Structure 1
Amino acid sequence: MNAQFKKGVLELCVLSKLVEEDRYGYELTEAISKQMVISTGTLYLILKRLKDDALVETYLVESGEGPARKYYHLTEKGRTHQAAQKKEWQDFTKIVEDIIG
């Protein structure tokens, strides 16, 4: 997959996975990696930016198999942002599809 295509849409992919349910970082990486290659480092940079922008918040859940896991939860601002980005992406891809036919 073209790296430039992927770079522009990874944030939307992360937000969209969080619309489904709260997830911890590794779980997000695994979910997205089922359909495209993404490094854990890239994912955590996106999550940090989303948290800094108040689009996600975090909470810890104790794990019986090691340290507590940091879960990411979409805020209302994040849900609104995801919906707007999804609409913009759909409009954009329709235009591109019309052009390239």
Structure 2
Amino acid sequence: MDLKKKLLAEGMKLIQDPRVMKVVQDPRVIKTMMQALQLRGKVQESFEERVARAAKSLNLVTKKDVRELERTLRKMERELAAARAEKNAKNSGQ
């Protein structure tokens, strides 16, 4: 059994233990878990901002730049297809 499956199986056993269920249902524990999740999100966001700033200062392309380029390219492809369709319609109509 690989590690992931073993951890999942052990976690399922643990979560079914009445003592664990009692602790997990405690409002203080729930509040702490929510704060931990929010903190993780904030840390991730801060990290991504710092990476983006470092990439910009080094003139590197970021994921955001690539997404913007992809969007622009898709828009241009749609416009080109529409222009070709219009041209073909004019040529067929003559």
- TM-score scaled by length of structure 2: 0.32
Say which one has the larger Rg. 2
Tell me which of the two structures has the higher relative contact order, counting C-alpha pairs closer than 8 angstroms and 6 or more residues apart. Answer: 1
More helix, by proportion: 2
More strand, by proportion: 1
- TM-score scaled by length of structure 1: 0.30
